[in-house]
Amino acid sequence: MPSFGDLFTDTRGDERTMRVSYHPERGAVVLSLWSGPVCRGSFRLAADDVGRLRALLTAIDADAARPAAGSGGTTATAGGEAAAEATEVIQTGDVSGTAHRAALPILPAPRVA
């Protein structure tokens, strides 16, 4: 097992989990999706992209901490006026140019008979 990692439970339950592990020998963070004891899929994130992922998760965390729209959450402006917080997300569907791909090193896997 890697020396760094954590396990997260899916909000839907049913023994769904996500495991996150760091593999310094490959320069990768692996996110794997599990259903009970069976791995259903994995994603290798280049260690160089962890900062971008962290920035995104930090922005999501900050947004989730704000009061929800319609719950009376307002902020005061410099003139003392109350302004409703903007929480609307506009989905454009355009995801071009957002991926930063880098080839991970290929390491031989030990074979077990």
Q: Coil, strand, or helix at residue 53? A: helix
**Using alpha carbons only, how large is the chain's radius of gyration in Å?**
20
pLDDT for the residue numbered 102: 62
| β-bridge mates for residue 84, sequence order | 74
Q: Is 73 left (phi over 0), alpha (psi -120 to 50) or beta?
A: beta
pLDDT at 67: 78
Q: Where are the domains of the chain?
A: 4-65
CB 40 within 8 A of CB 94: no
Residue 83's pLDDT is 46
pTM over the 0.85 mark = no
Residues 41 and 18: their CA atoms lie apart, in Å, by: 10
Question: Residue 81: what pLDDT?
Answer: 47
Identify the pLDDT of residue 92. 63
pLDDT along the chain (113 residues), means of 10: 82 92 93 94 95 93 79 49 52 58 65 67
